[in-house]
C-alpha cells in the first residue's frame, strides 16, 4: 500500500479535528447575572446618541416619502447591514472616519427628505446600507463588561427598528400638503444637525 504525503496530512488533520471534538469539559452550574441589563442597555443605547436617532428617523421618513416597496426595503436593509458593520467592529476590523460617516449620513438623509429625492430603489438601498455600516460599527459594539452580547444586540436592533418605525409613522403625514411641507422641514432640520455633527467630528 502506497503512502501519499497528502493522505498522511489528511490523517493528521482529521485526528486533530476528532481530538478537539471529543475534548470533554465539565458542566459548570452558575448564577446568571447582568443578562436583562444587557437587553436594557442595548434598548437604551440608540436613544442616547442624537446622531443615531436622527439618522434612523430620517430613514423611516424617507421610506414613507418614497412609498412601497422602499417603505419596507430600507428598514429591512438597515439592521442587517448595520449588524455587518457591528460585526466588523467586533472582529476588530477598523473603519476610518466613523463619526464623519455618521454625520454625513444625517446630512445626506436629511437632504433626501428635504428634497423628496426619489432615486432608483437600489441606489436608495445601497446608500442606506452604506451608512448603516458606520452606525453599526460605532454603536453596535459598545457593550458594558459583564453583560450578554446577544441580549445587548437584541435590544440594540429592536430599538433601531423602533426608531425606523417612528420615522415611518411621522412620514404618514406625507399624504397631506401641509404634512409634505412639515416633512421637508424635518429633513432640513436633520441635515442642519448633520452639519453640526460633522463640525464636531472634524474639530
Partner 1 sequence: MKRTLLHNVCILLGSTLSAVVLLPADASAHLVTTGMGPVYDGIGHLLLTPEDLVPALAVALYAGLRGRVPGKRALFFFPVAWLIGGFIGLAANTIPAFPVSAFSFILVGILIAADLRLPSSVFTVLAITVGIMHGFFNGIALKAGPAGLGLLGIMAALFVLVAIVSAFVISLKPPWTRIAVRVAGSWVAAMGLLMIGWFFRGQA
Rounded to a whole number of angstroms, the minimum distance from the CB of residue 90 to partner 1 is 3
Count of residues touching partner 1 (by CB under 8 A): 49
Q: How far apart are CA 65 and CA 55, in angstroms?
A: 15
User: Which residues touch 78 (CB under 8 Å, ≥6 apart)?
Assistant: 56, 59, 128, 129, 132, 160, 164
Choose which of 1, 2, 3, 31 interacts with partner 1 (CB under 8 A): 31
Q: How far apart are CA 124 and CA 81, in angstroms?
A: 14
90 lines the binding site for partner 1 (CB under 8 A): yes
Rounded to a whole number of angstroms, the minimum distance from the CB of residue 13 to partner 1 is 4
Cell triple for 87 = 460585526
**Assign residue 118 a region: left if phi > 0, alpha if psi is -120 to 50, beta otherwise?**
beta
Choose which of 41, 65, 83, 105 interacts with partner 1 (CB under 8 A): 83
63 lines the binding site for partner 1 (CB under 8 A): no
Report in angstroms the alpha-carbon separations of 125 from 132, 161, 167, 188: 10, 16, 16, 21
Q: Which of the stretches 96-104, 116-124, 158-166, 189-197 binds partner 1 when contact is defined by CB under 8 A?
A: 158-166
Choose which of 79, 110, 171, 187 interacts with partner 1 (CB under 8 A): 79
Q: How far apart are CA 41 and CA 58, in angstroms?
A: 23
Which residues between 93 and 132 bind partner 1 (CB under 8 A)? none
- Taking the CB of residue 4, how many other CB atoms lie within 10 A of it? 8
- Binding residues for partner 1, rule: CB under 8 A, are 4-6, 9-10, 13-14, 16-17, 20-32, 71-72, 75-77, 79-80, 82-84, 86-87, 89-91, 140-141, 143, 149-151, 153-154, 157-158, 161, 164
Amino acid at each position: 500500500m502506497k503512502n501519499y504525503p497528502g493522505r498522511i496530512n489528511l490523517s493528521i488533520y482529521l485526528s486533530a479535528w476528532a481530538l478537539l471534538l471529543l475534548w470533554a469539559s465539565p458542566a459548570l452550574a452558575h448564577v446568571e447575572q447582568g443578562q436583562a441589563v444587557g437587553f436594557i442597555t442595548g434598548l437604551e443605547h440608540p436613544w442616547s446618541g442624537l446622531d443615531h436617532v436622527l439618522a434612523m428617523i430620517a430613514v423611516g421618513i424617507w421610506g414613507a416619502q418614497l412609498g412601497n416597496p422602499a417603505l419596507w426595503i430600507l428598514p429591512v436593509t438597515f439592521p442587517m447591514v448595520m449588524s455587518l458593520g457591528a460585526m466588523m467592529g467586533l472582529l476588530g476590523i477598523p473603519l476610518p472616519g466613523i463619526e464623519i460617516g455618521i454625520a454625513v449620513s444625517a446630512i445626506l438623509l436629511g437632504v433626501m427628505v428635504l428634497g423628496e429625492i426619489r432615486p432608483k430603489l437600489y441606489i436608495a438601498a445601497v446608500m442606506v446600507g452604506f451608512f448603516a455600516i458606520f452606525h453599526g460599527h460605532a454603536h453596535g459594539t459598545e457593550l458594558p463588561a459583564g453583560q450578554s452580547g446577544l441580549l445587548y444586540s437584541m435590544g440594540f436592533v429592536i430599538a433601531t427598528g423602533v426608531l425606523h418605525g417612528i420615522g415611518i409613522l411621522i412620514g404618514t403625514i406625507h399624504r397631506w400638503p401641509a404634512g409634505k411641507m412639515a416633512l421637508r422641514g424635518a429633513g432640513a432640520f436633520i441635515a442642519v444637525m448633520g452639519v453640526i455633527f460633522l463640525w464636531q467630528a472634524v474639530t
